[in-house]
């Protein structure tokens, strides 16, 4: 069983966390176990760490990409 660490904000409720887990199972199969990690620093969305593979759907990540784009552009 593959362990998945999901980072979310404190505003994410159980229903939303479950929808994240369900989505990941659809993508990677049912052989997954989930651990919830709360970090309000990500502002919104989630980050999934699947055995070292990072799937980043957080707002803070989007902001950092935008900041980098502004700096380069």
Residues of this chain that interact with other proteins (CB under 8 A) are 8-9, 11-13, 16, 19-20, 23, 26-28, 40, 43-46, 55, 57, 59-60, 63-64, 66-68, 70-71, 73
- Please state, as a whole number, how many other Cβ atoms lie within 10 Å of the Cβ of residue 64: 12
- Cβ closer to other proteins: 11 or 51? 11
> What residues are paired with 8 via a beta bridge?
38, 46
Instruction: Give CA–CA dist 43/40, Å, rounded.
Output: 5
Of 28, 65, 23, 60, give the one whose Cα is nearest residue 45: 60
Q: Could you tell me the smallest distance in angstroms from the CB atom of residue 7 to other proteins? A: 13
Q: Could you tell me the smallest distance in angstroms from the CB atom of residue 37 to other proteins? A: 15
């Amino acid at each position: 069983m593959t362990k998945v660490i999901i980072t979310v904000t404190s505003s994410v409720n159980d229903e939303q966390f479950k929808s994240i887990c369900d989505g990941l199972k659809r993508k990677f199969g049912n052989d997954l176990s989930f651990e919830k990690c709360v970090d309000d620093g990500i502002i919104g969305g989630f980050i999934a760490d699947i055995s070292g593979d990072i799937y980043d759907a957080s707002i803070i990540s989007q902001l950092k990409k935008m900041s980098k784009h502004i700096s380069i552009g």
